[in-house]
Amino acid sequence: MARPKIGISLRVVTAQNYVEKRDALSQDWPIFLEKLNVNPIFIPNSMSNVKSYLYDMHIDGIILSGGDNLGDHPERDKTEKELLDYAVENKIPVLGVCRGMQIINDYFGGRIEQSNNSQHVGQNHPVEITNESFLDSFNSQSVLVNSFHYNLIRKNTLGKNLEPFAVVKSDDTVEGFTHNSLPIFGVMWHPERDKNKTSELLFRKVFQSIISKKN
């Protein structure tokens, strides 16, 4: 059977010696996705018609990757919002990672806070799984995840129809959410960096509908 095609957004980097912007992605992502028997389809930030590109490439799902802050590169913000438009219109699954979770929250009218809390930067910490369907997936109420972000989302800054499934008890921040009627999910940790059983379970939870169709 054909592998599912997952479109993945790209961060923007500036090549200092060439005075040009480039789209980039950590090599962790292709390694992680190949392990899960998925074909990654890279989505440039310079496309004039993102929806047409997704349609032509027969995209089954979307990953909004990390890196960059919202507003740093307007072309990336525009591209990812068009990806979300396409996902909502076609009801295809989306996983937002770190910045990707933040832009989903922004898309649905939520807000982002900045914090100097070192608990969320460059270290692992536990998250509490608060949604019963995710308890079944992770088989544990507490999961250890990595953390590389200063930007935070709280329950009172969540966008419309977004519901938390993973929180940090010590400061009540939201580390994972899901849309209540669409297959759209966000996590603040980076599953591609750990490549462990928790990462695999999360991925299969988000993209279970397309994985089962292709197998």
Catalytic amino acids?
A: 98, 190, 192
Nearest to 100 by CA among 184, 179, 211: 184
CA dihedral in degrees (89, 27, 149, 101; nearest 10)?
10
DSSP reduced 3-state for 178: strand
Please give the radius of gyration of the chain, using alpha carbons only, rounded to the nearest integer: 16
* Residue 121 in tokens: 């930067």
Q: What is the DSSP letter of 122?
A: E
For the chain, how far is it from start to end, CA to CA, in angstroms?
A: 6
One-letter amino acid of 15: A
Q: How far is CA 150 from CA 115, 117, 187, in A?
A: 5, 7, 14
What span, in angstroms and rounded, lies between the C-alpha atoms of 161 and 154? 14
* Residue 67 in tokens: 């890196």
